[in-house]
Amino acid sequence: MTTTTAITPELRAWIVAQAEAGFPPEDVLAAMKKSGWPEDVAIEAMESTLTEHLKAKGRPIPSLELPEPAVEDGSTCLLADGHEVKVLMSMQLPRVIVFGGLLTHAECDEMVELARGRLTRSETVVNETGGSEVNTARTSDGMFFARAENALCQRIEHRIAQLLRWPVKNGEGLQVLRYRPGAEYKPHHDYFDPVHPGTPTILARGGQRLGTLVMYLNSPVRGGATTFPDVGLEVAPIKGNAVFFSYNAPHASTKTLHGGAPVLEGEKWVATKWLREGEFV
């Protein structure tokens, strides 16, 4: 079976119908594979069909230009705004990079203290409306800093912009989360699924999310890894380190399904930076 002969009008119509019915892309892909479609054919069919469908609807298509550190030459130490950052691990699919020493311990402690008094129960995006709500899949406390809200945020945002070669204005404000013992964030995607009715409202503020940077503000005693179930990857939450991943399309072929494993002992504090394709307002 080849891609050319397999992607029939009937298959395209079925993919669109599943998307319009609200089924997540990963579920559609799983259904196609279960029915005997080779994974590469299924992914190609979904990519081309949904792209054409979004264009026909006049809805935005994500840019292929992505935030990316200067690691083309195999560098293991990068200079970002005068701060040395180590490259501890790099992976292509999913595009994941683990950084060592992105934040100093003093910066981690300061951010925790600035955030501590403003924590509330974390919410997740409501795909149907573009709003947010408390969800049992996310059992952390959190808060958002406005972009450049204080000197610490401004310094870290400029460091991230230089490290990932992405404009400060295209980043959301830093979000700080605290996970108590037993708290977790079940596997999810950070991009905004184009098939959901609330997505245009979200995209109006800066376009699609293209990348995520999770910075660890402390080291829990046990548990709390950032997990990527599709590839069996677990990133340990080490104070000052960070994990970055990007996604060039809003569907499961990017293999960026990820979660926060339950904290087994102690607390876990993280700061997250999401990067948009346009200016975030």
CA distance 228 to 234: 6
Say if domain 77-276 classifies as CATH 2.60.40.10: no
pTM attached to this predicted model: 0.76
Q: Where are the beta strands (DSSP E) in 139-236?
A: 141-144, 175-179, 185-188, 209-216, 222-223, 226-228, 233-235
Domain ranges across the chain: 3-57, 77-276
Both tokens assigned to 77: 């130490």
Between CA 172 and CA 179, with CA 178 as vertex, the angle to 5 degrees is 125
Tell me 254's DSSP state.
Answer: G
CA distance 110 to 116: 10
pLDDT tens, the chain, 281 aa long: 444 445 788 888 888 888 777 677 777 888 888 888 888 788 888 878 887 877 676 554 544 589 999 999 999 999 999 999 999 999 999 999 999 999 999 999 999 999 999 999 886 665 566 555 556 667 789 999 999 999 999 999 999 999 999 999 999 999 999 999 999 999 999 999 988 888 999 999 999 999 999 999 999 999 999 999 999 999 999 999 999 999 998 988 899 999 999 999 999 999 999 999 999 99
CA distance 191 to 197: 14
Strands ordered across the beta sheet of 268-276: 77-80, 83-91, 95-100, 242-246, 209-216, 268-276, 175-179, 141-144, 120-121
